[in-house]
Amino acid sequence: MATFLGSVFLLIAGYIIYSKAVEKIFGINDQNPTPAYQHSDGLDFVPISWWKGSLIQLLNIAGLGPIFGAVSGALYGPVAFIWIVIGCIFAGAVHDYFSGMMSLRHNGEQFPALVGRYIGPAMKKFINLFSIVLMILVAAAFTAGPAQLISSITPLSFMAALVLVFAYFILAAVLPVNKIIGKIYPLLGAILIFMAAAIGIALLFSNKQIPNLTLKNLHPAELPVWPLLMVTISCGAISGFHSTQSPIVARTLKKESEGRKVFFGAMIGEGIIALIWAAAGMTFFGGTNGLQEALAAGGPAGAVNEISQSLLGTLGGILAILGVIILPITTGDTALRSSRMMLTEVLASVMDTNGKWKVLLITIAVGVPTFYLSTIDYSFLWRYVGWTNQVVATVMLWTGTMYLLKQGKFHWICGLPALFMTAVVSSYIFYAPEGFQLSYQTSMVIGSVISTVVISWYIVQIYKHRNLQNNSGDTKAA
């Protein structure tokens, strides 16, 4: 129990202390007009209060991610607490802050446009496609599950429920951000917080002992912690999906100082939610062996439902059903909205994208493949979401690093987690079942080689920008 409570304390301390350091390095100025006012369009650029923005951001980035991912990651034992705390403070929250604030500084630009600015047009083209594919995969993966549950508790067939969910998706993607998202999401965000807090409190006062820290890998199947844990628990530690969601809220902020509360704060909140569910997973079923049996029997949804009903009774059952239906839907709809915004930026260079009908047509263009993918096997989709998600996170961290390098600021706050995540994704894809399925040793060697190449590139960039800044200083002095 001490490890769990200590982890919660560290996350809160991380927000109080480290978020201010990150904000200071970034450098805010409330005199700068924000995109919400500069580009007000009544659709995406609409001023919203920071507290609503925080709850919208939390719901956008969270959904079922910090619940299902954390419960699955709990199979590794208390070592999952370490990854959630360190990953959330020094990687995930930094990633979210820079993705949101850089968008704010650049007229509400989407993630691929930011990549193009700071890493180059070739990477922008790659990440445009990669990000839109991720958004479609996420929207599809978070549609089938709710539709199946709706069809099981109502007279609707699976296809009817799917059509119903997608009708809502289209509406949420094309209506002004303050109509559905701005009105409903703060309430749903509050429900997500209440659900996690209720589980956490019930767990603390139950007769079950939350395990304390051990570095031993407790996974029943003896799967390696590195790099699998870092992909299994993404939401709650670091998730590239967040960099596609932050621009949605960045286009609504009234001033730059709100960014720390909205972007850094929401990520810390998600980390606490992940801690609670990781603790519940490794505690409720009597250890990781019991958790593995529960996951094999009913998957993460079944495990969450059993935990909720047992700890909270009828209320828990209601919350579990609400969570499994509503939370993934709120992730899917903003994923579709993000893909619409990204495709709009791509098409803006070759055609006029203004007008309600064009917005609807672009939404349908990304909605059709999403709908098709939602009809195939959910587990197949989810396998590819994990690695794709963390690649996007890695690229966003490198984008933040290059931004700080060009600004002549302390770039290591993005550079070090970027190097870490580069090693994660480089080794994971060669070992994972959805990847090349090479031996563990071979995968680690290849990952190390790729990481060494990237470190060399980073060092070159450091010296390159240092020389540019020195030459610029000499020119000004002359």
- Tell me: pLDDT of 37 over 60: yes
CB atoms within 10 A of CB 325: 18
Torsion, Cα 40 43 49 52, to 10 degrees, reads -160
Local confidence band at 196 (pLDDT 50, 70, 90 cut-offs): confident
Local confidence band at 475 (pLDDT 50, 70, 90 cut-offs): low
Candidate CATH numbers 1.20.1740.10, 1.10.287.980, 1.10.3720.10, 3.30.2350.10; the one for domain 2-379 = 1.20.1740.10
Q: Which residue has the higher pLDDT, 98 or 353?
A: 98
Euclidean distance between CA atoms 244 and 103, whole angstroms: 10
For the ranges 106-110, 195-199, 418-422, the lowest mean pLDDT is seen at 195-199
Q: Mind listing the pLDDT tens digit for each residue in 215-273? A: 899 999 999 999 999 999 998 999 998 998 899 999 999 999 999 999 999 999 999 99
The tokens describing 460, both together, are 């070159």
pLDDT of 377 reads: 63
Determine the average pLDDT of the residues in 47-69: 87
- Tell me: pLDDT of 276 over 80: yes
Local confidence band at 277 (pLDDT 50, 70, 90 cut-offs): very high
pLDDT of 293 reads: 94
Euclidean distance between CA atoms 46 and 142, whole angstroms: 27
pLDDT of 382 reads: 64
Q: Which residue has the higher pLDDT, 193 or 149?
A: 193
Q: How far is CA 226 from CA 80, 212, 233, 444, 450, in A?
A: 11, 20, 12, 9, 16
Closest CA to 128 of 108, 114, 142: 114
- The burial of 185, by beta-carbon neighbours within 10 Å (0-12 exposed, 13-18 middle, 19 or more buried), is given as buried
Euclidean distance between CA atoms 105 and 327, whole angstroms: 30
> How many helices (DSSP H) and strands (DSSP E) are in the chain?
20, 0
pLDDT of 39 reads: 92
- Tell me: pLDDT of 427 over 70: yes
pLDDT of 90 reads: 98
pLDDT of 378 reads: 57
- Tell me: pLDDT of 422 over 80: yes
Q: What angle do the packed helices 288-347 and 356-373 form, to 10 degrees?
A: 150
pLDDT of 179 reads: 80
In the chain, where the domains are located: 2-379
- Widest CA span in the chain: 79
pLDDT of 359 reads: 83
Local confidence band at 175 (pLDDT 50, 70, 90 cut-offs): confident
Determine the average pLDDT of the residues in 127-143: 80
The gap between the terminal CA atoms of the chain, to the nearest Å, is 63
Mean of pLDDT over the chain: 88
Whether the Cβ atoms of residue 251 and residue 45 lie closer than 8 Å to each other: yes
Amino acid in position 241: F
Euclidean distance between CA atoms 395 and 340, whole angstroms: 21
Q: Mind listing the pLDDT tens digit for each residue in 337-371? A: 888 888 887 787 777 777 777 888 888 888 888 88
Q: Mind listing the pLDDT tens digit for each residue in 428-442? A: 999 998 889 999 999
The single residue listed with the structure tokens 């005199």 is 31
Local confidence band at 379 (pLDDT 50, 70, 90 cut-offs): low
- Tell me: pLDDT of 199 over 80: yes
* pTM, full prediction: 0.90
- Tell me: pLDDT of 24 over 90: yes
* Residues 6 or more apart in contact with residue 388 via CB below 8 angstroms: 130, 133, 134, 137, 240
- The burial of 106, by beta-carbon neighbours within 10 Å (0-12 exposed, 13-18 middle, 19 or more buried), is given as middle
Angle of CA points 386, 391, 393, to nearest 5°: 95
Q: Mind listing the pLDDT tens digit for each residue in 281-329? A: 999 999 999 999 999 988 787 888 888 888 888 877 777 777 667 777 8
For the ranges 101-110, 204-213, 369-378, the lowest mean pLDDT is seen at 369-378
- Tell me: pLDDT of 478 over 60: no
